[in-house]
A and B are shown apart, each in its own frame.
Chain A
Amino acid sequence: MNEDINTTEELMDYLKKNAQEKGYYFNKDSSFVNELLKSSLTNLKRYGYASCPCRLSTGNYDLDSDLICPCEYMENDVKEYGSCFCALYISKDIFESGKTPISIPERRPKDKLFDIDYANTSTKQTSEKKWKCGICGYEHSESEPPENCTKCGASKEMFKEMK
């Protein structure tokens, strides 16, 4: 399906058509979008598929198929944070309010991000806990609470462990 795409314009047309069909919203900042699409095209030429430019692809289609734009995580990220990981896709709210999307946390599972051997040698991967921001109620699943709340920016100390 991607074999006919050779330019960012063609990639844009392809993604826009898909976005229209599914009711997705594109980031309104055209220079930002262009920069992203240039990088997606780099991946398309490098790997043979337009995988997410903000994540590391392996070049193995089976391992990277979840990352082909729009990636598997896009809908949930747009729902939770108002934009996808790259901020190519944004929510209707952000689209209409004109707010600038920000950099969001990685949703892709760790075993896909890192070789399983790495995950096993990592010291923090064993005990996942749930934390809740005392200010806005944002929930975070990790061994540690985040430095700052992703949603309201409150400091780490404001998080309480959920039992």
Chain B
Amino acid sequence: MIRRVDGKNGKKSVFLYTLSTCIWCKKTKQFLIDMGVKYDYIDVDLIVGDEQDKAMKDLSKINPQGGFPTILIDKVKTIVGFQPDAIKEAL
């Protein structure tokens, strides 16, 4: 299930593949909240079956090396891991 976190800063679309348990995912979400950035995310460990398979398949297309969090900005730019500077630059 895709969830949305609202923010004032919503010029570019931000989508996160995350795990509810992953520390770098939590840090990335908090960083976006602190920046006031609107984002959508999916906690892949909290979904099952076909829904999880589809999420992982979509993730493998944008990040073949794998890893959470994977951040997709404006549907083109991919950032992997907790990379505050790279996120700032891409936004």
Partner-B contacts on A (CB < 8 A): 32, 35-36, 39-40, 42-43, 53-57, 86-87, 102-106, 108, 110, 113-115, 118-119, 121-125, 142-143, 147-148
Contact = CB atoms under 8 A, between A and B. Distances in A.
Contacts of B26: 35
B56 A118 contact: yes
Interface residues of B, number: 26
A88 to B, nearest CB: 9
B23 A56 contact: no
A142 B78 CA distance: 15
Contacts of B22: 39, 53-55, 86
A103 B64 contact: no
Contacts, number: 81
Contact of B64 (A35, A102, A108, A110): A110
Contact of A53 (B23, B44, B82, B86): B23
Interface in B24-42: 24-26
Contact of B65 (A40, A54, A57, A142): A142
Given A110-B64, A118-B60, A53 B21 contact: yes
Interface of B: 19-26, 44-45, 53, 56-57, 60-61, 64-68, 79-83, 86
Nearest to B48: A59
Given A54-B68, A103-B81, A110-B66, A148 B86 contact: yes
A1 B4 CA distance: 39
Which of B44, B79, B80 gathers most chain A CB within 10 Å? B80
Nearest to B63: A106
Contacts of A106: 65-67, 80
Given A106-B67, A114-B66, A35 B23 contact: yes
29 contacts: A35-B23, A40-B21, A42-B21, A54-B21, A54-B22, A54-B23, A54-B25, A54-B68, A56-B19, A56-B44, A56-B45, A56-B56, A56-B68, A57-B45, A86-B22, A103-B83, A104-B81, A105-B67, A110-B66, A114-B57, A114-B66, A118-B60, A121-B60, A122-B60, A122-B64, A123-B61, A124-B64, A125-B64, A142-B64
A87 B64 contact: no
Contacts of B53: 115
